[in-house]
Amino acid sequence: MPEEHFSPMASVSGGQASAAPVADVWPTLGVPFLLRNPRDLGPLARHLRRQVLLTIAAANSGHPGGSLSAVEIMTALYFCLMRHDPRNPHWPDRDRFVLSKGHCTPILYSVLAECGYFPREELATFRRINSRLQGHAHIMAPGVDASTGSLGQGLSFGVGAALAGRLERKNYRVYVLLGDGECDEGQVWEAAMSAAHYRLDNLIAIVDRNRIQNDRFTDEVMELEPLADKWRAFRWNTLEVDGHNIEQVLGALKAAPQEKGRPTVIIAHTVKGKGVSFMENNPDFHGRAPTPTELERALKELEGVG
């Protein structure tokens, strides 16, 4: 894909808090929403990172860190793997996606817009009054299957959707993206136990292991390790990948359904704020919008990467 498709933002910098429609400055990518070759996903992932930042900047509110850490995971799911149809969001045979870490809507909405669930320009309404794009995920947005936002609830929803699929003899799969800090919630482990008990091999959880939660590093707030062993002890097929290596992420996602009789969890080791030097590994960017200067710097950095 030609590089110029990805750099229409010059006019945006500094204007993120304005209420003016940004249709004229919103990036256009024009990719088909299904890409079979993971090698094509690099530029797309970079585009999505910019879109995440612009979306948050337009709202002057939102969660950049955990959105940026999940870019490759979301890209692999929506552009390579999941069976879904943006023209028919309620297609009964679609694969389901649950954003259990419901605050990371900037990456979810960016991906959904890019797929064509709603116009890209609508991203500029994120968190604003009368928008379908709520701060935390809600089913009023086309393509959003589960309302979330209170941590720990998405995996249970996934168990229900997976049970329904089995009852209906459908072969759709259910993907649930969890935060690592979210694993502090007891309900995650209630759900994990029940998914193994009901042998839900159509359920795949992905933990975005970016090692930072709201206040601080996860190790400081609540020790999670040995995290993989915990999932293994709950009788899940447990895989670990570099969550920014799309081929590794895809490989694990594709391997998951081969595992019969038990659910799979992929612990994706990631960097919070990935792609923007001053956001990387910085707890400050869990839940705040960049300033105009920071946005400009971030967009510039993202232009330079290949």
Partner 1 sequence: MVATASSREAYGKALVELGREFPNIVVLGGDLNKSTFTTLFAQEHPERFFDFGPAEQNILGVAAGLAMSGKIPFVSTFVVFGTSRAYDQLRVSVAQPHLNVKLVLTHAGILTGEDGMSAQGIEDLALMCALPGFTVVVPADAAETVHAVRAAAETQGPFYVRLSRPATPLVHGDTGCSFRIGKAEVLRDGRDATIVACGSMVATALEAAQTLQSEGVGCRVINMHTLAPLDEEAVVRAAEETGALVTAEEHYVHGGLGSLVAQTLALHHPTPLEMVALHGYAESGKPELLLEKYGLTAPYVAQAARRVLRRKG
Task: Give the footprint of partner 1 on this chain (CB under 8 A).
Answer: 92, 96, 98, 138-139, 145-150, 152-165, 167-168, 174, 186-187, 190-191, 193-194, 198
Residue indicated by tokens 């009368």: 130
Cα radius of gyration (the chain): 18
Phi-psi region of 176 (alpha: psi -120 to 50; beta: other; left: phi over 0): beta
Residue indicated by tokens 């110029």: 4
**Secondary element (H or E) of residue 90:** none
Nearer to partner 1, 235 or 297 (CB): 235
Rounded least distance, CB 173 to partner 1, Å: 13
Rounded least distance, CB 302 to partner 1, Å: 33
Rounded least distance, CB 84 to partner 1, Å: 15
120 token code pair? 């890209």
Nearer to partner 1, 68 or 146 (CB): 146
Nearer to partner 1, 1 or 193 (CB): 193
3 state DSSP class of 176: strand
Give the span between the Cα atoms of 109 and 127, in whole angstroms: 11
Nearer to partner 1, 168 or 284 (CB): 168
Nearer to partner 1, 214 or 291 (CB): 214
Query: Is residue 116 exposed (0-12), middle (13-18) or buried (19+ Cβ within 10 Å)?
Result: middle
Q: Are 41 and 84 in contact (CB under 8 A)?
A: no
Rounded least distance, CB 151 to partner 1, Å: 10
Rounded least distance, CB 291 to partner 1, Å: 31
Give the span between the Cα atoms of 292 and 238, in whole angstroms: 41
The sheet that has 237-242: what strands, in order across it? 96-99, 174-179, 203-209, 264-269, 237-242
Rounded least distance, CB 100 to partner 1, Å: 10
Nearer to partner 1, 57 or 196 (CB): 196
